[in-house]
Structure 1
Amino acid sequence: MAFNAIELEILWKRLISVVDEAAAAFVRTCFSTLVRDGNDFAIVLTDAQGRSLAQSNMSLPGFIGCLPATVRHFLAKYPAETMREGDVFITNDPWKGSGHIHDVTTVTPLFRQGRLVAFAAVVSHLPDIGGRLRSNSSREIYEEGLQIPLAKLLEAGKPNDVLIEMIMQNIRVPDQGMGDIWAQVSACRMMGERLQPLLDKVSLEDLGAAVRARSEKAMREAIRAIPDGVYTSTVQHDGFEAPIVIQCRLEVKGERIDIDYAGSSPQVARAMNVVPIYTFAYTVYGLKALLCPDIPNNEGSFAPITTTAPPGSIFNPAYPAASGGRSAIGHLLPAAVFKALAGVLPDKVWAGGSPNSSMTMSGEYRGKRYAVVNFLNAGQGATARRPGFSALSFPANLGNTPVEVMEGLAPIRVLRREIRRGSGGQGRHRGGDGLRFEFELLPDAKEATASFLMTQLKSVPAGLAGGGPGEPGRLLVNGEQVDPTEPRILRAGDRVIMETAGGGGYGSA
């Protein structure tokens, strides 16, 4: 079936509305603030082969790149001819899911007149997955919590009671965790229901082929506008005993881009490793944001791009590598891409920015177990056209949990959350400012375990074209600057200040 431009745009918008409605249902029915306020989830519709068609507008960029591959992993284990209506699959395998076990993915096959036509897939960060709190200090995946292999959560509508009991037995807040998982299942079912009227009008195979072709054509044209050649960059993360180095080699050949991370640091015995599925997702996202951000995003956008990394490296670690803090490294991949292409696309790239930081806290208060996660945005780099954005989440699009919600979930009093004025780098256009967040544990609180995932406390976001670097981040406990690597025990009255880094400036001042 051929579509003219108007028909294709209308049908594309209908596809997006199907996924967006499912996302709205997920947000309204989930139990944790990670979804409602943190926006730490994604919902994707794929075709029957696991090729992405559309995702919700609220979805995290990295998850968008991972979910289609997860669907294909399920297809490899459970062939399409064995799937039945009412089946729901589940996993949190980092190598086959979204990079760490704290994200749980559910995939639901969608049928029409008994024939498999599509998959609805949802991934979200659970408030807890057992094990140690999410921390950079974990040395193996076994410390990080419960691993769920590729499995069936429901088989023809019948729940897998043993698996459900196992999940609930292993996490600190089982009602919240399973509540979010069931909300995922509901969102997938809604996607299937809303898709049926569209399928009365059009074949999903034809529509999928058309939207993928349009996106692939646009991406190839954007790549073709870059001069052929090899472009390289080096970006550093604070690391531990020594910095973690990201070595990016980007080769443009006609309509293709191949990115190789050979020369990057080896995998580490810490929870900072980035599995290939996540490496690909954030590399592709950086290129998509840079080259054709306004074109519909689907499998066609990914087709002209490959990523590789040597086995045993930070971007291709061997099991049982820990990866709970993989975002601190993975979120620097767009910065590596931008830096590599800065010489040929000076008006499009922007200076270095800082990934999100986060605080995870668990304990018991007034007889009730709690586990909470809060994200803190940071300063982003300036461009040739404008200053950097302050307290913005990039390359994720995570949200800050409202102060009132945090205080209702954990025994803390928030003293301030404010922009770190002046923390952005100097330049013709200044970098964006970071965030300052201060809280104290309530006087009647018991001891609490807290973990802080913070980055760029040493390796600061770099400026471009003569712009200055941003200010580094800091973590202070009772006025003393501390290393965020290890979880800490907080006691009643303890005060914590988290400061996120500022973004790099652009151009000489």
Structure 2
Amino acid sequence: MTNPATTEPVLDPVSLEVLRSRLQATAEDGATTIERTAISPVISESRDYSCTLLEANGDLILAGGALTHHFGVCGQAVRATIKAYGDSLVPGDMFFANDPHNGGGLHAQDVLIQLPVFVDDRLIAWVVNSGHMLDMGGMVFGSWSPDAVDCFQEALRLPPVHLFRGGEEQSAVWKIILNNVRVPDIVEMDLRSLVAGCEVAKDKLVETARSMGVERFLSGLHGLRSLAEREMRRRISGLTDGVYRYTSWVEWHGELFEVPCALTVAADELVFDFTGAPPQTDHYFNSKPHIIEAIVVGDCTDVLAFDLPLAEGMFAPITVVCPPGTVVNSAPPAPVASAHIDVAINATTAAQQCVMLAIAASEANEASGLLCGPLAVSSMALNTWSYETQAGTPDGWMMMDGSLAGNSAGFDRDGTDFWTFMIARKPILEAIDVEMLESWYPVLVDFKKMRSGPFGAGRYRAGAGCHMRFRAHGAAQLTGALLAIREDFPLSGTAGGLPGATSEFVLHPAEGPSVPLAGKSTGVVLGPDDSLEFCLGSGGGHGDPLTRDPAAVARDVRHGRLGPAEAADVYGVVLVDGRPDDDATRARRADERRQRLAAAVPARRPVPADTRGTGPTGRIYPGVDQHGELAVASASGAVLAVAPQPWTDGCPTLERPLTPGLVERSYLDPVTGDLLLVEVAPEGHPCTIESRPRRWIEASPTPG
């Protein structure tokens, strides 16, 4: 990959910005049309839709709507449609696709409606609208079943097919789709909302192209793409060259699937390599390269270019490696109903944390103030429910409140409640109002509140996820599918912050004891007066909890986040009449640090304390600095490692079991006893992070 051509675009900068603004307004108008005309709350209330504008070859121009993850998959769909229909495209054509294995987007429910845009019989662009359909057939309502073992069981899947041909509605295709879904009236109206949004955006694109002249319009698109690439490369070049690694895991009823990511930063390019991912499986979370790339690039540019609209130029300097035949690059008949969630979200979490490691090791730049912990999207616990109406027909909904996890802490701020991204260009999903939910569906909500507990503790703590309980009301029974991700394996903290919370489901029968439910379950039944309670997970904290401001801990107790005992046990803060006792707190925290060091296992590879380094300096990890060939703890100056060894090798460690096979491992400053890193990993697994800036590798006193 080389730098883009340096020729200047025909349009001047002011004209380019005017064009960009018109295009953004066009995409947002298309998106707003979808929201106003769809009838299912998953689109009209939770905003699970998008309107994406693309060049004639499928390159992303920009998009409107809430779901950035939708934007990047549309190019692959358009290119599949072009490959299938080539020169036969004519004005008035419109295509449907929903198969991730063959021209579709994120999963079968996120259908793509594709409209080629013509001016005087010349193809100038595409509008691709996506929205989550309430049902697309398959073995369970909602088409999202953890029990599916191949893609044939999951949903009706169509490659690119004409929905309209030359302006004529293809009634046979509509009938095939609607004949295979459980709620055809709702699905039809939501599909027509996507069609309407396409038409609105198309008309505005044509108007813009005609007013500018087609050649100037196309030149402007080229100019915007080139500028986006140039700026993206500039921002990447502010990162320190090196290799940064982070490993995450996907759970499946006690089985773990490793998702390792290695980021190589070289000049103005990034390579995210998922080599080492396990083979594809018969579980529903297999993914595809176009999905991994779309989500990884979307989330990582949220950090590096959060102030810019996502565009094709941002993809150019970024390579995503997904080995064939693995869970990140599966082939039929692999089930893919959750292709954008479990594996994909863990992949992007690992990728984004690799970027955070690179930012932490770099000189101050635009992204330095955005350091934060892992994305909490992987702490969601979505659930879908179906029932029989009084007319004897099926109906149902997706409980979008199951997406409201609490995000990880930042390096200088607490995480946000009911939110999964510390950094994002715009909101991702919104929950349905309780009153709206109860008016649409046979359900009563007992409570919906912030989850309490000491999870994600740190100098800055994680946000809290949703804690909710509801019951059937007005239907004989509700039948549900549970789709939790983090049941036992919480997200790790950063810089000594503690791991976050895991997701939990509990069934409360009308009679008898409460029953914990597996996070991936189907056929869950709520009868009269039965209720379901769920608690969502969260991201991790940042910094040692013993360094949190005692006044902030006291405030959390007043707000019901913590109890006084948790304030003392986790944060070392002693409260008297709700106020911190400064002397008692200092004494308790000092004693806790001494106990850590006394209980810790000695460092794997200790370095003599009098070792001195000479050469380049810089940051390796928050709280760990480079002094020549030495890695030292920032606070104490304790020597941790000699280049190129990992700095964690010089830390005393503490381990405590979480669940069978999982441990929480803490790496300590050998002088102060402060926590430098706390991670969750399978028992016996090496450290889950590695930061190797090039200056650290090259500082090695012995080659290699």
TM-score range, shorter chain: over 0.9
Counterpart selection for 1:398 from 407, 429, 434: 429
CA distance in 2, matches of 1:406, 1:132: 25
Alpha-carbon distance in 2 for matches of 1:47, 1:344: 32
Question: 2:446·2:470 contact (CA, 8 Å) conserved in 1?
Answer: yes
SS in 2 for 1:78: helix
Distance 2:191 2:356 in 1: 42
Task: State the AA in 1 paired with 2:232.
Answer: M
Deviates more, 1:416-425 or 1:311-320: 416-425
Cα pair 1:129 1:146 within 8 Å, conserved: yes
CA–CA distance in structure 2, aligned partners of residues 137 and 262 of structure 1: 27
Give the SS at the match of 1:453.
Answer: strand
In 1: Cα distance, 2:68 partner to 2:257 partner: 23
Cα distance 1:88–1:503, how it changes in 2: closer, same or farther (>3 A)? Answer: same
Distance 1:371 1:276 in 2: 31
Report what 1:261 is aligned to: 274
State how far apart, in whole Å, the 1-side matches of 2:472 and 2:306 are: 43
Question: Could you tell me which amino acid in structure 1 is paired with residue 175 of structure 2?
Answer: E
Match of 2:408 in 1: 381
Does structure 1 residue 370 correspond to structure 2 residue 403?
no
Equivalent in the alignment of 2:490: 460
Alignment match, 1:335: 349
Output one character per residue of 1:185-208: Cα deviation in whole Å (capped at 9) or x when no partner.
Answer: 111111111123321125321111
**2:60 aligned residue:** 52
Is the 1:425–1:471 Cα contact (8 Å) retained in structure 2? Answer: yes
Asked whether 1:500 is paired with 2:536, we answer yes
2:124 aligned counterpart, secondary structure: strand
Could you say which residue in structure 2 is the equivalent of 1:438?
469
Q: Give 2:177's match in structure 1, choosing from 167, 180, 189.
A: 167
What secondary structure does 1:337 align onto? Answer: helix
Alpha-carbon shift at residue 259 of structure 1 (Å): 1.3
* TM-score, normalised by the number of residues in structure 2: 0.70
Return the alpha-carbon distance in structure 2 between the equivalents of residues 446 and 143 of structure 1.
27
Which of the residues 247, 250, 258 maps onto 2:263? 250
Give the partner amino acid of 1:6: V
AA aligned to 1:47 is: E
Deviation at 1:424, TM superposition (A): 4.2
1:102-501 pair list within 5 angstroms: 102-133=109-140, 134-199=144-209, 200-202=211-213, 203-326=216-339, 327-346=341-360, 347=368, 348-355=370-377, 356-367=380-391, 368-375=393-400, 376=402, 377-394=404-421, 397-422=428-453, 424-442=455-473, 444-478=474-508, 479-487=514-522, 488-501=524-537
| 1:434/1:503 contact within 8 Å kept | no
Matching residue's letter, 1:456: R
C-alpha root-mean-square deviation of aligned residues, in Å?
Answer: 1.6
Deviation at 1:446, TM superposition (A): 2.1
- Counterpart CA distance in 1 for 2:305 and 2:74 is 21
Equivalent runs, 1:58-77 vs 2, <5 Å? 58-77=65-84
Distance 1:287 1:222 in 2: 12
Determine the C-alpha separation between the residues in 2 that align with 1:87 and 1:170. 23
Identity %: 26
Whether contact under 8 Å (1:424, 1:434) holds in the other structure is no
CA contact (8 A) 1:338 1:350 kept: no
Matched AA of 1:333 = A
1:461-506 Cα distance to aligned partner (Å, 9 max, x none): 1100000111211111112211022212222221101110022100
The 1:322–1:506 alpha-carbon spacing in structure 2 relative to 1, beyond 3 Å, is same
SS of the residue aligned with 2:212?
coil
Contact 2:415 2:461 in 1 (8 A): yes
Residue 90 (structure 1) aligned with residue 85 (structure 2):
no
Task: After superposing the two structures, state which structure 1 stretch, 11-20 or 350-359, moved more.
Answer: 350-359
CA distance in 2, matches of 1:153, 1:261: 37
SS of equivalent to 1:360: strand
Output the CA distance in 1 between the equivalents of 2:154 and 2:307: 38
CA deviation string 1:155-179 (max 9, x = no partner) = 1111221111111111111011111
* CA offset digits 1:233-277 (Å, max 9, x no partner): 101222334112110011122211111111122222111111111
Contact 1:44–1:121 (CA under 8 A) maintained in structure 2 = yes
Contact 1:431 1:503 in 2 (8 A): yes
Contact 1:47 1:204 in 2 (8 A): no
Q: Distance in 1 between matches of 2:160 and 2:536?
A: 36
- Measured after TM superposition, the shift of residue 423 of structure 1 is 5.3
Once the two structures are TM-superposed, the CA of residue 100 in structure 1 deviates from its matched residue by: 1.4
* Structure with higher RCO (Cα < 8 A, 6+ apart): 1
Does structure 2 conserve the Cα–Cα contact (< 8 Å) formed by 1:424 and 1:432? Answer: no
| Aligned residues of 2:95 and 2:163 also touching (Cα < 8 A) | yes
> Is residue 117–residue 206 contact of structure 2 (8 Å, CA) maintained in 1?
no
Which stretch of the first structure deviates more once superposed, 1-10 or 309-318? 1-10
Structure 1 residue 99, shift from structure 2 partner = 2.8
**Structure 1, 289-298 or 427-436: larger mean CA deviation:** 289-298
Amino acid across the alignment from 1:491: G
Greater Cα shift, 6-15 or 431-440:
6-15
The structure that has the greater radius of gyration is 2
Determine the C-alpha separation between the residues in 2 that align with 1:333 and 1:72: 24
Gaps in structure 2 of 5+ consecutive residues: 1-8, 361-367, 509-513, 546-704
Which moves more between the two structures, 180-189 or 421-430? Answer: 421-430
Is the Cα–Cα contact under 8 Å of residues 109 and 118 in structure 1 kept in the other structure? yes
- What 5-or-longer segments of structure 1 have no aligned partner? none
Q: Cα offset for 1:383? A: 1.2
Provide Cα deviations, 1:120-172, integer angstroms capped at 9, x if missing partner: 10011100011123122211111111111211111111122111111111111
State whether residues 104 and 159 of structure 2, in contact with CA within 8 Å, keep that contact through their aligned partners in structure 1. no
Bigger shift: residues 125-134 or 92-101:
92-101
For the residues of structure 2 that align with 1:342 and 1:17, how far apart are their CA atoms?
32
Distance 1:364 1:506, change over 3 A: same
The 1:343/1:166 distance shift into structure 2, 3 A limit, reads: closer
SS at match of 1:290: helix
Distance 1:103 1:257 in 2: 29
What is the total number of aligned residue pairs between the two structures? 506
- Work out the CA distance in 2 between the residues paired with 1:354 and 1:132: 29
Cα deviation for residue 219 of structure 1 reads 0.9
Aligned mates of 1:253, 1:439 — CA distance in 2: 51
d(CA) in 1 for partners of 2:195, 2:352: 37
